[in-house]
Each structure stands twice: as C-alpha cells, then as structure tokens.
A and B are shown apart, each in its own frame.
Chain A
C-alpha cells in the first residue's frame, strides 16, 4: 500500500511571498488532514476534509491560509503572504474516517521563512 505522498519536501521563501504544498492521500481514504508542526511541539490541526467538504477549519488562519481538496482526492494548502512564524513542518494525513482507525501521515514539507 502506497503511503501519503507530499511535495515538496523542503521549501525556503522570503516573508510576504506565497507558497503551496501538495498532498496525495492513501487511495480510498475519505478523510484528509493538514497539520502544522512547530519544532519541539505536537502537530496542530489546520483543516480536516471529509471527501471534498470541510469538516473543521477552526484553527486555520483564514486571512493567509487556504486549502482545497478538489474531487475528494488530492489536496493543496497555500500560504499567502507568508510570515516568519509560519516556519514549520506541514504534515498531511489521511484516514478511512472510521472511529478507532489510525491516521496515516506523510513525511511533511519543511517550510523556512527568511
């Protein structure tokens, strides 16, 4: 079974620039999550999709972050404009969406803002 694929693995940009991350979940997984993980902390949920609908985006800074999941499969997360405090690893995860089933994580995109 192929895992969750994310790209790019690393990205360095200057503040106020824009950036986009891509995620391809495990085939058949209805639920997709984007997390932000700051160094030394646990992941923080940004947005959760069920198929192509948003279930939870309460912690997404909507003035600069946006995400979409067209056709209920791949997803992109965008930051525009980036701030210094956005430096983090952005993790994508997917699951079957059934209780007590694990989330499967990608290896993330490490974003550095100069």
Chain B
C-alpha cells in the first residue's frame, strides 16, 4: 500500500531558528515528490517538486532534499519567520498514473 509518513507531527520553534521536517514514503514506482505549505483556512501552495534525478531543490528559505534510494525527503527552513507558521504536507506521485499520496502534514508554529 502506498503511504507517506511525516515527522514530527507538530513543531514549535523560535523566530529566526532553522528547522527540518521529515517525510518517508513507500510509493512505487515513483514519479516525483512535492512539498506544500498550507496556511490555516487556506488551500495548499506548492513549494517544491523533485523528480527521481533531483536530490535538492530550493525555493527561497525553503530547501528540500530527496534520497530516492532510502525513500526519504526533508524540508529545511532557514531563518524562520512568523509567516512560516503553517502545515507542511509531503505529497508523492506515482509513475504512470500520477496518483498523489498525501502525508498528514507537520504543523509548524513559529513563536516570537
């Protein structure tokens, strides 16, 4: 069964600090892995999309890494800001049908 697991479930850090969120998946065959940011009461917004051949991709202060061999990904946030408070969802797409499997997300809270 295709699954995406994220950790931690929730995280609280001080403004200005860095943090790393984890994603493990069992989706096979693999097409791509996406990280989305979902603010409270809003729809998810795409941060990065990585294919099998990519092992890192950045979007401003967000840097995603992918290890397709171990089926793990991480999202690193540098110099966190209050506006980074949101849920971060890892999504994996299967090759062929492009069906998306969603993780349950990590709830990140930045405190001043």
Interface residue ranges, A against B (CB under 8 Å)? 4, 40-45, 56, 91, 93, 99-108, 110
* Chain B residue total in the interface (Cβ 8 A): 23
- The verdict on B60 contacting chain A, using a C-beta distance below 8 Å, is no
Docked CA distance A4–B46 (Å): 14
Instruction: Report B-chain residues with C-beta under 8 Å of the C-beta of A102.
Output: 34, 46, 49
Main secondary structure of the interface of B (DSSP, over half): strand
Docked CA distance A56–B31 (Å): 18
| Contact of B102 with A44 in the complex, beta carbons under 8 Å | yes
Instruction: Report B-chain residues with C-beta under 8 Å of the C-beta of A56.
Output: 97, 99
Docked CA distance A114–B90 (Å): 32
Docked CA distance A84–B81 (Å): 38
Question: Quick one: which of B44, B91, B104 has the most chain A CB within 10 A?
Answer: B44
| Contact of B43 with A105 in the complex, beta carbons under 8 Å | yes
Instruction: Report A-chain residues with C-beta under 8 Å of the C-beta of B32.
Output: 99-100
Instruction: Report A-chain residues with C-beta under 8 Å of the C-beta of B1.
Output: none
26 inter-chain pairs at a CB distance below 8 angstroms, sorted by A residue, are A41-B104, A42-B4, A42-B89, A42-B91, A42-B102, A42-B104, A42-B105, A43-B89, A43-B102, A44-B102, A56-B97, A56-B99, A91-B44, A99-B31, A99-B32, A99-B98, A100-B49, A100-B51, A102-B34, A103-B100, A104-B46, A105-B43, A105-B44, A106-B43, A107-B41, A108-B43
